[in-house]
């Protein structure tokens, strides 16, 4: 049967399946510290595993890379324990009770194990199965998910555990690593549309926190376009309508991975980077079809409702994340796209280190308008938290939570960092679940302890 005709015939009976659906307002949490382990968030567990904590993370065993290099024989097993205990059904139940509608899931490139260069790159294996299970829990709970490419091949920013390898050797902004990120993107887009466990995924984020100085991110604008094209190429191959784009390949198979190969071989609407990514993703998906038990990858007649699915929301850090004449991700958009900005006051450089200055700053935040003026809308705040540079009183933390939620809700909403942290002094005030228990964060995330908190601070 002809691939596309087969899908069209099926669609009449298909149930509605969702992708690309943006909640009215995002009230979200990050599932951080899970599939990208940041040791500072769980120092007791990390040191019990054999890791170390030091002030410069490149100087000790303080990243997944250095841990796996040090303990090659036990890393997979130790991480499997972590993956199965850090984020559980009990956590999902708690998030439902707390009214959370969105989860941003930080992922490393190594979750697609086939793109890891095992000679030089050291990462645990097996995470993808836990991702599938976690997404199923979220989907069953009605919580939507963003797949966040948080730790990029080659490391996207220096000296951070959150890139997987704490190093000043930043190599993401090269052809080789951009290409691997596109393969990752093709694989994740395919799984999202073909594995029912991924049904809760509505967005895929290209690059978490690239270097802010655009002079140090050569080729990033081209990558943005290739990222969107890769997502859309997979979707067109599946028969999912993409606004303003038509596939020029006759697909003559129900075997999706073979169809990817046909598009890679004959399409003239995608460039060679995108087509190579499709071709490289195909054999990886054949393996994942078996590992994750997703028969629809090999026979899309088994996938229901593809034509009724909608395109994913491609997502980037906003243009104002960078300076020095950055590329505008809005120029890459084809179909629905979202923008992410992160704001932490505790590192300094945003406002003077006192409560009044913090409130004056956040209450007059203009990032949503500034981005919208450049086409970067809808904007959500994909990371924020309650930490401060001073010893905050409880009274201030109530105001600080309310004022930030007010500011971020002027855009598409907010995603707190993090759903939980280990209960230790080091990681204080970063747990959403704990913050709700203590009352700083309201039980209903759309509410405020005091919705007038900003009134004395508005400057106009
Ligand atoms: C990872 O970090 C090590 C140092 O810990 C460094 O030698 C290596 O080049 C880094 N790899 C990448 C891809 O940055
Ligand atoms: C589907 O196509 C792939 C090539 O991409 C091939 O390896 C696989 O055997 C095919 N599967 C089936 C069930 O025909
Ligand atoms: C694509 O082209 C390559 C090289 O000519 C060929 O080996 C492969 O079978 C083709 N794939 C498909 C799916 O047509
Ligand atoms: C916060 O309080 C702790 C202990 O009470 C103290 O050691 C520290 O210096 C204080 N920090 C600031 C920034 O005031
Ligand atoms: C809410 O905040 C405003 C502004 O600071 C204040 O005037 C008002 O008294 C507060 N309301 C409550 C119930 O605390
Ligand atoms: C959850 C948490 O750690 N809350 C703490 C935040 O900071 C205030 C003030 O320092 C503490 O009182 C809370 O216990």
Domain CATH for 397? 3.20.20.80
Residue nearest to atom 3 of ligand 1 (CA): 167
- pLDDT for position 425: 63
- Residue 44 CA to ligand 1 centre (angstroms): 25
Contact by Cβ (8 Å): 222, 206: no
At 314-324, the pLDDT tens digits run 999 999 999 99
**Residue 54 DSSP code:** -
- Ligand number nearest CA of 439 is 6
Using most ligand atoms within 8 A of CB, pick from 285, 298, 299, 303 the residue to mutate for ligand 2: 298
- Report pTM: 0.94
Closest CA to 294 of 368, 388, 196: 196
- Residue 266 CA to ligand 3 centre (angstroms): 9
Residues with CB under 6 A from ligand 5: 450, 452-453, 455-456
Closest CA to 83 of 39, 126, 30: 126
Q: Relative to the CA of 393, which ligand 6 atom is closest?
A: 9
Q: Taken in order 253, 257, 260, 261, is the CA torsion positive or negative?
A: negative
Closest CA to 186 of 277, 271, 258, 249: 277
Q: Relative to the CA of 389, which ligand 4 atom is closest?
A: 13
Cβ of residue 65 lying under 6 Å from some atom of ligand 1: yes
Residue nearest to atom 4 of ligand 4 (CA): 391
Closest CA to 143 of 85, 106, 193, 99: 99
Domain count of the fold of the chain: 1
- pLDDT for position 7: 39
- Ligand number nearest CA of 64 is 1
**Residue 187 DSSP code:** H
Using most ligand atoms within 8 A of CB, pick from 261, 262, 263, 282 the residue to mutate for ligand 3: 261
Ranges of residues in the chain with a pLDDT under 70 are 1-21, 307, 425-428, 460
Report how far apart, in Å, the C-alpha atoms of 276 and of each of 186, 272, 281 are: 10, 6, 8
Cβ of residue 323 lying under 6 Å from some atom of ligand 4: no
Report how far apart, in Å, the C-alpha atoms of 149 and of each of 111, 181, 335, 407 are: 10, 9, 20, 26
Structural domain of 423: 2-457
- Ligand number nearest CA of 164 is 1
- CA 168/CA 252 separation, integer angstroms: 48
Q: Which residues, other chains included, contact 457 with Cβ-Cβ below 8 Å and sequence gap of 6+?
A: 359, 360, 363, 364, 403
Q: Relative to the CA of 66, which ligand 1 atom is closest?
A: 5
- Ligand number nearest CA of 123 is 1
Contact by Cβ (8 Å): 45, 53: no
Tally of CA atoms within 13 A in the half-sphere of 271 that contains its CB:
10
- Residue 285 CA to ligand 2 centre (angstroms): 10
Burial class of residue 324 in the structure, from the number of CB atoms within 10 Å of its CB (0-12 exposed, 13-18 middle, 19+ buried): exposed
**Angle at Cα 271 formed by Cα 265 and Cα 274, nearest 5°?**
75
The token pair that represents 219 in the structure block = 């080729």
Residue nearest to atom 12 of ligand 5 (CA): 450
- pLDDT for position 317: 98
Cβ of residue 425 lying under 6 Å from some atom of ligand 4: no
- pLDDT for position 455: 98
Q: Relative to the CA of 63, which ligand 1 atom is closest?
A: 5
- Residue 263 CA to ligand 3 centre (angstroms): 10
- Residue 263 CA to ligand 1 centre (angstroms): 35
- CA 175/CA 229 separation, integer angstroms: 16
Residue 403 — φ and ψ, nearest 5°? Answer: -65, -40
What SS3 state is found at 241?
A: coil
- pLDDT for position 20: 53
Say whether the peptide bond before residue 286 is cis (omega within 30 degrees of 0): no
- Residue 439 CA to ligand 5 centre (angstroms): 16
The alpha carbon of 453 is separated from its chain's Cα centroid by a whole number of angstroms, namely 31
Cβ of residue 51 lying under 6 Å from some atom of ligand 2: no
Whose tokens are 């080729």? That residue is 219
Residue nearest to atom 2 of ligand 5 (CA): 453
- Ligand number nearest CA of 282 is 2
- pLDDT for position 21: 63
Tallying the residues shown for the chain, one arrives at: 460
- Residue 356 CA to ligand 5 centre (angstroms): 14
- pLDDT for position 303: 80
Cβ of residue 63 lying under 6 Å from some atom of ligand 1: no
Q: In the chain, what are the helix, strand and coil shares in percent, each to the nearest 5?
A: 45, 10, 45
- Residue 388 CA to ligand 4 centre (angstroms): 12
Q: Relative to the CA of 253, which ligand 3 atom is closest?
A: 13
Q: Relative to the CA of 390, which ligand 4 atom is closest?
A: 13
């Amino acid at each position: 049967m002809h691939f596309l005709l087969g899908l069209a015939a099926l669609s009449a009976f298909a149930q509605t399946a969702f992708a690309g659906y943006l909640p009215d307002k995002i009230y979200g949490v990050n599932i951080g510290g899970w599939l990208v382990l940041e040791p500072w968030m769980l120092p007791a567990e990390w040191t019990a595993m054999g890791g170390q904590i030091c002030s410069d993370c490149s100087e000790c065993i303080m990243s997944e890379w250095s841990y796996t290099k040090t303990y090659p024989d036990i890393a997979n097993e130790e991480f499997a324990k972590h993956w199965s205990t850090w984020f559980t059904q009990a956590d999902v139940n708690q998030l439902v009770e707390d009214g959370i509608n969105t989860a941003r899931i930080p992922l490393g490139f190594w979750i697609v194990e086939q793109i890891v260069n095992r000679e030089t790159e050291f990462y645990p294996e097996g995470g993808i199965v836990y991702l599938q299970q976690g997404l199923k829990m979220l989907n069953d709970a009605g919580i939507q998910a963003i797949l966040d490419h948080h730790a990029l091949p080659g490391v996207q920013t220096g000296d951070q555990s959150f890139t997987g390898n704490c190093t000043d050797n930043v190599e993401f902004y090269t052809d080789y690593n951009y290409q691997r990120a596109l393969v990752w993107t093709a694989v994740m887009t395919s799984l999202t549309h073909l594995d029912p466990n991924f049904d809760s995924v509505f967005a895929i984020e290209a690059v978490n926190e690239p270097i802010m100085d655009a002079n140090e991110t050569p080729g990033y604008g081209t990558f943005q376009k290739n990222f969107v094209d890769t997502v859309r190429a997979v979707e067109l191959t599946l028969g999912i309508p993409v606004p303003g784009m038509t596939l020029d390949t006759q697909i003559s198979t129900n075997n999706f991975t073979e169809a990817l190969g046909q598009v890679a071989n004959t399409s003239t609407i995608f460039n060679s980077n995108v087509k190579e990514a499709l071709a490289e993703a195909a054999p990886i998906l054949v393996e994942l079809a078996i590992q994750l038990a997703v028969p629809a990858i090999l026979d899309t007649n088994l996938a229901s409702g593809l034509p009724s699915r909608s395109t994913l929301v491609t997502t980037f850090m906003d243009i104002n994340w960078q300076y020095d004449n950055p590329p505008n991700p809005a120029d890459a958009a084809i179909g629905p796209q979202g923008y992410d900005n992160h704001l932490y006051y505790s590192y300094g450089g945003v406002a003077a280190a006192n409560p009044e200055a913090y409130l004056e700053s956040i209450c007059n935040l203009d990032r949503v308008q500034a981005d919208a003026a450049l086409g970067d809308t809808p904007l959500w705040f994909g990371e924020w938290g309650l930490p401060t540079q001073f010893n905050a009183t409880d009274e201030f933390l109530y105001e600080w939570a309310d004022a930030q939620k007010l500011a971020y809700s002027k855009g598409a909403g907010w995603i707190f960092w993090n759903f939980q942290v280990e209960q230790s002094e080091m990681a204080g005030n970063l747990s959403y679940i704990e913050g709700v228990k203590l009352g700083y964060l309201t039980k209903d995330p759309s509410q405020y302890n005091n919705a007038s908190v900003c009134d004395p601070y508005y400057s106009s």
